[in-house]
Structure 1
């Protein structure tokens, strides 16, 4: 493959890795953000924790892989993002840290205040990460100005506009709905019923926010602003964006009857497809520009930011082995821990070292 073809291939692979992360970690974030709503009872909260306990750290592998692929394939992209988004990316890191610590430390002491504190850490950490990623990717859709050589960003407060804040809030609510749909698949009894109530309440809100984000984004920041896209890109963004809205609406509508397994499977398919197509729309918009708008006299695009052909060739060979392994592990882990959980499955709380961390009740 030529260097240009390898650059396009790795842009697509980076997009796939980010989409996989948001699809899988999206419901993890959503479940944790719903602790204060569905998990007011400690036993019900433990059911929620155990639905994501076996897989949350595996889901984060997709983030590490996406970040690593960006760094290796597009070092200019990576460094330019950090020049202007250092504080937001630091917030993401801190959110992920306190979220991970909460899973590992919550069961170390038999004290309700101790557990409640770490559960709140999981909620706050998930909220921070979801909000920051929503604002960040909305800025990529909008286009962030860069200047200088090497290119760098400036003006932290310019990241916050009505459109980008809409993107942040929309992603938070979509993840909460995605998490509630996941709980309806993985839990039974009272947790399942409360998750159904959350979907009925937040589902229409999520659809409205997503529709507003897609419509405003396509009108205010259309594909025609991107010099690297052809004439059909605008239509593609409208089509894929509206598919995202329709998929989310479909997922919400599938929960008109609670407890119907087939409908719950379709609902999860719908919310997952909505997240995937939303980020497909964003990656269409940033093709070539990588989400930046160079000022006059500044040269920056996907080809300038990319690594050498030798590096991309080596990475492609490694990806042929690594990506199937990650996919196989992900599928295997969800198959092993596919059983539904309820409060009846929860063993007594313990503080022993043998049961530290998340108690996996899937058996």
Structure 2
């Protein structure tokens, strides 16, 4: 399989995307990898797979690489004697945050007829925005953590009891997230969050809550990962999440009952099917008093949650052969011809 990994983007999570992309080189050992970097000013570069490392990007040396053009059928290198297509079978969208998770890259891929692994436009829009994720889950009968919504210009008042957790609506990787233990800390936490987004979600902070992660996809059938109980800390800050995104070693399954595992997987399937077909996602769940609550959808999880699967690369191969296809629409201008005929202009 020739796999084009598209990464970078104009996002607060730009660097995390680079870490995830480099990790894929350690994980996907049987595939031929082609790296396509999206700079912060949204230019495309073909990166030498043998030379890829973090310093290449922090130093700006990536600008010496061949610049690419995106057009119908794929990515192209434009030269004096015409354009040459970059040869690959399928693209993997590995841009975390804006550009990758908000649907921009997915829309471009679909528009230009490029086979790609990623949530499609509607799935991206609903999972990128934490408020819309709540609406989606509610419509599917999946319970979520209680919440309040505040916009930047709203009065800074909340009705739920402290402690609470403040989250920017359109960001991941714990960027701009704060735990607020009493009313005196609220203004500062909101100031931090509003530096990154114009809207925030306020949720109760549940001390010692049981948290479980479930990843998966649908190929020619369901392919679900193990259920993981992530390392317990108050919450993972940006630096810990940054390191988490470079994971490539397998983890142990959570020590839970078969009944609880079934509940988590049932909720995951409700979220995934059919909206997220063509992608590998991870859902993070809380379990409170035996009830499964959706915390977040990770539409493009760090390092694609490879460490949760028995054979991630084989699954990726199967997914690439079972991607959703956009309906072909034949345009034959019959309507215009009929109008012209009626006017005697045929």
TM-score under structure 2 length normalisation:
0.26
TM-score under structure 1 length normalisation:
0.26
Greater strand share, structure number: 2
Greater helix share, structure number: 1
- Bigger Rg, structure 1 or 2: 2
